[in-house]
Amino acid sequence: MEKLQETVKKIQPIDQQAVEKAAQRLDMLTKPQGSLGVLEDIVKQLAGITGNPIPRLGKKCVVIMAGDHGVVEEGVSAFPQEVTPQMVMNFLNGGAAINVLSRHAGADIVCCDIGVASDVKHPSLIIKKVRYGTANMAKGPAMSREEATRAIEVGIEVAEDKIKGGVNILATGEMGIGNTTPSSAILTVFGCPVEKVVGRGTGIDDKGLALKIKTIIKAIEVNDPDPSDPIDVLSKVGGLEIAGLAGVILAAAAHRIPIVIDGFISSAAALVASKIEPRSVQYMIASHVSEEPGHKMMLEMMRLYPMLHMKMRLGEGTGAALAFHIIDAATHIQSEMATFESAGVSRSSSR
Ligand SMILES: O=C(O)c1ccc[n+]([C@@H]2O[C@H](COP(=O)([O-])O)[C@@H](O)[C@H]2O)c1
Ligand SMILES: Cc1cc2nc[nH]c2cc1C
């Protein structure tokens, strides 16, 4: 709990003076003012986060948190639980979509077992298991308050380790069969109607979708989570990897590092982080909008605007890895474009 409190206390608003300086420079570059749209927004946000009006990206890293979910016994996923450890091995062996997209973006990956229901062994795996999967939230709390807090702190530790190693932009990624169910439950508790929130995840059929909605309603009834207490919500209807990612996000904000938020599950973690400390949102960059119907509402709740519409619904950090290219491009605009003065281009009409 101490580590979490310390981290939250460190989160300050972004530097508005640096935002202003970045905006002034953007307006001097050879383009009509504001014409690079979101690229300009990204430059200003990065300037505010880093305090540098001409921000540059250095080392990038995707943190993948992996955990399992007791609620899968209700039949809420199209895939069996064994896929979680199998995909973790795939990440570690370099063959998953996130490996390909991270390599292409020049980003590192770390994978942390924060709650896989079985033991996974690999020299590159960070093992910080809080428990072997959550309990079935349709029958009682997914985990205890202490476990949820510990899982957030695991995320903080993993992120801080990477930051100490020189990483200066982080992205969230996750793996956990069943995790669209707790993510949907979290969004429902924070105020969105359940039938608008719940989607097909890995691809359940109509019968599965109806069962998933019923299971989420039951989990909320059984646990009665308190929406004014984000850790209560996380422990009762959340997940270990979701808690871990909330910790990664809070740590990034505390260390003034931009954090790229991937899809639906990562955004559920971001929503929890935003409820723990609203200032953390200033450090978040939303990569894409997922096919999960609740994702758009989730991002709107945080006033985050996804830059990519790619019909993606994979998770792992794949959308965030793609977004790295655009964020990189934005920084090059600010550092490499000529100004009206240096290029001898007329600024405005003489009329
Ligand atoms: O990030 C997303 O937007 C997303 C949307 C749907 C599914 N997923 C991935 O699929 C798994 C969860 O789906 P499910 O159907 O088992 O709840 C989990 O491993 C996620 O990484 C991810
Ligand atoms: C194969 C597979 C890969 C995934 N990656 C993230 N979630 C996933 C779910 C499945 C089923």
pLDDT in tens for each of the 351 residues of the chain?
799 999 999 999 999 999 999 999 999 999 999 999 999 999 999 999 999 999 999 999 999 999 999 999 999 999 999 999 999 999 999 999 999 999 999 999 999 999 999 999 999 999 999 999 999 999 999 999 999 999 999 999 999 999 999 999 999 999 999 999 999 999 999 999 999 999 999 999 999 999 999 999 999 999 999 999 999 999 999 999 999 999 999 999 999 999 999 999 999 999 999 999 999 999 999 999 999 999 999 999 999 999 999 999 999 999 999 999 999 999 999 999 999 999 999 987 655
Could you tell me the residue range of the domain that residue 301 belongs to? Answer: 59-327
Do 111 and 154 share a structural domain? Answer: yes
Structure tokens at 77: 């996923």
Query: Which ligand sits closest to the CA of 182?
Result: 1
> How large is the ipTM?
0.99
Do 63 and 29 share a structural domain? Answer: no
The set of residues, in sequence order, having a beta carbon less than 8 Å from that of 208 and lying 6+ positions away, is 75, 76, 78, 200
* Residue 351 falls inside a structural domain: no
Residue (of 282, 241, 286) closest to 260 by Cα position: 286
- Give me the chain's average pLDDT, please: 97
Which amino acid, one-letter code, is at 218? K
Do 130 and 20 share a structural domain? Answer: no
Do 195 and 68 share a structural domain? Answer: yes
The one catalytic residue in 153, 174, 277, 316 is: 316
Q: Is 153 in the pocket of ligand 2 (CB under 6 A)?
A: no
Tell me if 259 sits within 8 A of 248, measured CB to CB.
yes
Do 338 and 235 share a structural domain? Answer: no
* Residue 348 falls inside a structural domain: no
Do 104 and 33 share a structural domain? Answer: no
pLDDT tens figures, 29-77:
999 999 999 999 999 999 999 999 999 999 999 999 999 999 999 999 9
Do 199 and 312 share a structural domain? Answer: yes
pTM comes to 0.98
> What's the CATH number where 25 sits?
1.10.1610.10
Do 256 and 108 share a structural domain? Answer: yes
pLDDT at 348: 74
Do 186 and 115 share a structural domain? Answer: yes
Do 31 and 133 share a structural domain? Answer: no
* Residue 181 falls inside a structural domain: yes
Question: SS3 letters for 292-326?
Answer: CCHHHHHHHHCCCCCCECCCCCCCCCHHHHHHHHH
Give the Å distance between the CA of 184 and the centre of ligand 1. Answer: 11
Give the Å distance between the CA of 164 and the centre of ligand 1. Answer: 30
* Residue 168 falls inside a structural domain: yes
Phi-psi region of 153 (alpha: psi -120 to 50; beta: other; left: phi over 0): alpha
* Residue 268 falls inside a structural domain: yes
Query: Known catalytic residue: 316?
Result: yes
* Residue 141 falls inside a structural domain: yes
Do 96 and 19 share a structural domain? Answer: no
Q: Is 316 in the pocket of ligand 2 (CB under 6 A)?
A: yes
Give the Å distance between the CA of 336 and the centre of ligand 1. Answer: 39
Do 38 and 75 share a structural domain? Answer: no
Residue nearest to atom 7 of ligand 1 (CA): 201
Domain count, the chain: 2
